[in-house]
Amino acid sequence: MKPFSQRVCELALSIPAGRVTTYGNLAKAAGGGGQASRSVSGILGKYPVQGAIPWHRIVYAGGKVWMSPEHEQKRRELYELEGIYLNEKGVITNFEEVLFDFRDL
């Protein structure tokens, strides 16, 4: 079996355009336990190909999006291009429609 970190990266890369998943769903699909979602960002941050991870497609539970001031405009543009709608508070308004289930792979 592949290491957890490798499975996390492969699954993150498989999230299709126009869809999102949560850190928890990603960790669970990779075989991690209840606290594994806390390690996802660290694992993906070490991925060797810069810019390959679709960070905007990985969100918090309930559709909350992480946005820092320096990344907000770019992220909002990416979401708009992919038909993912955010409110002014950075929550995906069509979350249930765009939530990706890894069982669909």
Please state the pTM of the whole predicted model: 0.93
Count of the separate structural domains present in the chain: 1
Q: What is the pLDDT of residue 91?
A: 97
* 94 closest CA partner among 102, 83, 105, 104: 83
- Residue found by looking up tokens 């990416």 in the block: 78
The verdict on residue 43 lying in a domain is: yes
User: What would the pLDDT profile of 74-84 be if each residue is shown by its tens digit?
Assistant: 999 999 999 99
CATH of the domain at 51: 1.10.10.10
Q: What pairing do the DSSP bridges indicate for beta strands 58-59 and 21-22?
A: parallel
> Which amino acid belongs to residue 40?
V
Helix (H) or strand (E) segment spanning residue 59: strand 58-59
The verdict on residue 104 lying in a domain is: no
Structural domain span for residue 48: 4-99
User: What would the pLDDT profile of 6-26 be if each residue is shown by its tens digit?
Assistant: 999 999 999 999 999 999 999
Copy the structure tokens of residue 18: 């126009």
